[in-house]
Amino acid sequence: MLTSKLPNVGVTIFTVMSKLANDTGAINLSQGFPDFDVSEELRELVAKYMALGHNQYAPMQGVPSLRQRIAEKTKELYGVSYDPETEITVTCGATEAIFSAITCAVNSGDEVILFEPAYDAYAPDVLLAGGVPVYVRLKYPDYHVEWNEVKDAITKKTKLLILNSPHNPSGAILSADDMKALIELVIDTNIVIISDEVYEHVVFDGHRHESMTRYPELASRSFVISSFGKTYHTTGWTMGYCLAPKQLSVEFQRIHQYVTFAANTPIQLAYAEFMEKKEKYLALPDFYQGKRDLFLSLIKDSRFIPLPCLGTYFQMLSYADITDEKDVDFAKRLTTKYKVASIPPSVFYINGDDHKVLRFCFAKKDETLIQAAEKLCRI
């Protein structure tokens, strides 16, 4: 019989809540995927490259034309050059990129600082690599970083910090002041950073995405991870990429080549051509801010209280005026009785911290949001 390497890890909350939504016929605002379709043009590009015979392995690092487009976009948006030959790796989703980055960076006994509520893939990957998760809580209700607490958490064993901005599940973003504080914290250390930036194009209210790539002191020690799925509404295609300086990319690719070797070839070629249409990703902030604002306007007469959402396509809502139930219990009752599925954020804390809030995904058709809001307003 096997001895589990993750004995305390069960099925993810995303699987649990999506299954419950399907079983009960609820509107699924839990798992973070759109219910509107992919661009017809992008689908046709994939079919074109399949028909042209591009159906075998891509280069391990990714199709050259796609890596070139990524380098061009990064230079244009953030003012920094990454060599597409040696510093960009296309991966089978951001989750694979996170796994590969953690695996190559962490050795047995290394401490890794995670910020709670933390996306649930981080800690299991750290444990599988033999690392020790060290948790720092983001401050409720705006989920800001208290950098003095981060400083106190750093020891001689600290190898890695994992940051996520825009942040899932809270919708918070890092500011320029946060980046300055981070630089001061790591500048005289050997600490490596993994920066999960999959929602880089989903930032609202005129704010700027503070990518690690903007700051040479941080970029030089960072694996910066993004996602085509979040940018092009193609989460089922599971493709992302990792930017890292050459010395980090070499180690990253040592792991990546034995996890998946290479990502889907025709989809890579389709993305490479589609990325020439810059308006497709430059329009995302306005597109998703419209979704956020619509959802908030539709629930303004409900008993839910919205928390600040400056990025991602998730809205946190306090239900403290409705019930004292634990968030997991209320999320399940909301799904089965009121037919709207959400995510309880307590599952993203090691000790199950419960602030009586739920996370709702607004990457949905307007009619879906209208129907969901009608149900929420009846509670």
In three-state secondary structure terms, 244 is coil
Please state the domain extents for the chain: 13-31+283-377, 41-277
Integer CA distances (angstroms), 212 to 16, 48, 179, 296, 325, in order: 33, 35, 8, 31, 39
CA 240 to chain centroid, in Å, comes to 11
Q: What is the pLDDT of residues 54-106, one digit of tens each?
A: 999 999 999 999 999 999 999 999 999 999 999 999 999 999 999 999 999 99
Position 1 scores a pLDDT of: 82
**What percentage of the chain exceeds 70 in pLDDT?**
100
Q: What is the pLDDT of residues 273-308, one digit of tens each?
A: 999 999 999 999 999 999 999 999 999 999 999 999
CATH 3.40.50.1970 assigned to domain 41-277? The reply is no
Cβ distance 196 to 225 under 8 Å?
Answer: yes
Q: Any idea what DSSP says for residue 60?
A: T
Position 8 scores a pLDDT of: 85
pLDDT at 336 over 90: yes
pTM given for the model: 0.97
Mean pLDDT of 158-185: 98
Q: Any idea what DSSP says for residue 343?
A: B
Q: Which option is the CATH number for 13-31+283-377: 3.40.50.2000, 3.90.1150.10, 3.90.850.10, 3.40.640.10?
A: 3.90.1150.10
Q: Mean pLDDT of all residues in the chain? A: 97
AA identity, residue 181: A
Residues 6+ apart with CB under 8 A from 267: 46, 237, 239
Mean pLDDT of 109-120: 97
CA 307 to chain centroid, in Å, comes to 19
